[in-house]
A = this chain, B = another copy of it.
Amino acid sequence: MRPIKVVVPFKLDCAKSRLSSVLSSDEREELALAMLEDVVDAVSGLGRVSILQKDPLPEDRIFDCLRSRPEIEFLECSQELDPALNMVIESEEKKGWPSDILIAMADLPLIRPSDLEELVRTPGEVVIVPGRGGGTNLILIRDPKFRVSYYGLSFLKHLQAARDLDLSAGVFESFRCASDIDEPSDLVEVLIHGRGRTPELLRNLGFELSGKRAACRM
Contacts and interface: CB of A to CB of B under 8 A. Distances in A.
Q: Number of copies of this chain in the oligomer?
A: 2
B213 A153 contact: yes
Interface string A152-183: 11011000000000000000011111100000
A8 B135 CA distance: 30
A134 to B, nearest CB: 5
Interface in A134-156: 134-135, 152-153, 155-156
Nearest to A171: B193
Interface stretch (A26-34, A37-45, A83-91, A184-192): A184-192
B153 A211 contact: yes
A130 B193 contact: yes
A177 B9 CA distance: 29
Contacts of A201: none
Given A173-B174, A173-B176, A174-B175, A192 B152 contact: no
A189 B193 CA distance: 21
Contact of A173 (B152, B153, B175): B175
28 contacts: A130-B175, A130-B192, A130-B193, A132-B189, A133-B185, A133-B189, A133-B214, A134-B188, A134-B189, A134-B213, A135-B213, A152-B211, A152-B212, A152-B213, A153-B192, A153-B209, A153-B211, A153-B213, A156-B192, A156-B209, A173-B174, A173-B175, A173-B176, A174-B174, A174-B175, A175-B175, A175-B177, A175-B178
Interface of A: 130, 132-135, 152-153, 155-156, 173-178, 185, 188-189, 192-193, 209, 211-214
